Structure 1
Amino acid sequence: MALSYKARRRLALLVLVLGLPGYIVLAVTLVNLFERPSIWVEFGIYVGLGVLWAFPLKAIFKGIGQADPDTPPQDDHTE
């Protein structure tokens, strides 16, 4: 079942406000479980984890910045 544009916008906002900070805490916790690696390895881990969260959620964020495709176009010409 495809989500409506409005539902995708709300879900994207929920992911950004709650999910992303939670994912950041999880990534930092996972890195802290091990002995601190070199700065470049640590940087690579954070960059990899930073990109990894976006792939499963790509369908939710796709087209969110565009106008709602379900609304009819409005004619704003005033004379």
Structure 2
Amino acid sequence: MPRGEIVIGGPNVTLGYFKNEEKTKESYKVDEKGMRWFYTGDIGRFHTDGCLEIIDRKKDIVKLQHGEYVSLGKTE
């Protein structure tokens, strides 16, 4: 099952956070075609039936020396 950070894009994505340029630059990106993308910070995975499940937060994950990603909350 594919997994990774949830990213939302399209013409209906907001322009950013109200009066918070730093957070806007961190979470919103515009690609070469002008499409606006919002990086949610959530980690999700798709099930075989097409449903999206949120399984973790990006900030709670660290990469180990051999390349495996582990959630700090699960190791406590």
> Is the shorter-chain TM-score for this pair beyond 0.5, marking a shared fold?
no
TM value normalised by structure 2: 0.24
Q: Which has the higher contact order (CA 8 A, sep 6+)?
A: 1
